[in-house]
Amino acid sequence: MNVFRLTGDLSHLAAIIILLLKIWKSRSCAGISGKSQILFAVVFTTRYLDLLTSFISLYNTSMKLIYIGCAYATVYLIYVKFRATYDGNHDSFRVEFLVVPVGGLAVLINHNFSLMEILWTFSIYLESVAILPQLFMISKTGEAETITTHYLFCLGLYRALYLLNWIWRYYFEGFLDMIAIFAGLVQTVLYCDFFYLYVTKVLKGKKLSLPA
């Protein structure tokens, strides 16, 4: 059993559940970047199109459907159900500066020049930077609620565990995917500053703030 993939999936699922519960219980999406959540919805949609063409396992299919469903549920809560609490003024990151370059990179660098493969590659690249609008929003507001930091920590932990998953697969299965590894490294690096602040502040009961 690949323990790193399993714990990575569980960490990812925990992040999603934490975010949904935070929004639903507080009846507010304050401090949450709707733009990041839209990007994650796009990530899961373009990555899991293979649901229409193949079946790997019940676990695999179930997790994919959960990720897609929860991503769109989160977008719905932010932009429809609790739209009045959404802070659009601070959620001002220009996502086109992420989507367009990532789209071009997916066309240029992929494993196979086919529509499904390009979309899968696009999703891998986009996920690596999808959290930037959220981090940018925190830097603009100056701080983040504790529950939001727990969500971000679980999300970053998932990515770090998946890096270990790729190392495991290389040594025990002889499988190497440089695109996924490169994207995972980029995403983990983006979380490094946050991880440091999480450990030094949040775990000590202090509020987290990012430098503006």
H or E element that contains 7: helix 3-26
d(CA 38, CA 78): 10
**What's residue 203's pLDDT?**
76
Q: Give pLDDT, residue 199.
A: 82
3-state secondary structure 123-184: HHHHHHHCCHHHHHHHHHHCCECHHHHHHHHHHHHHHHHHHHHHHHHHHHHCCCCHHHHHHH
Distance CA 102, CA 161 (A): 23
- In this prediction, residue 144 carries a pLDDT of 80
* pTM reported for the whole predicted model: 0.92
Q: For the beta carbon of residue 2, count every other beta carbon within 10 angstroms.
A: 13
Q: Residue 134 has which token pair?
A: 């959220």
Low-confidence ranges of the chain (pLDDT < 70): 1, 208-212
* Of 92, 88, 84, 127, nearest in space to 106 by CA: 127
Residue type, 103: G
Cα atoms found within 13 Å of the Cα of residue 37, Cβ hemisphere only: 25
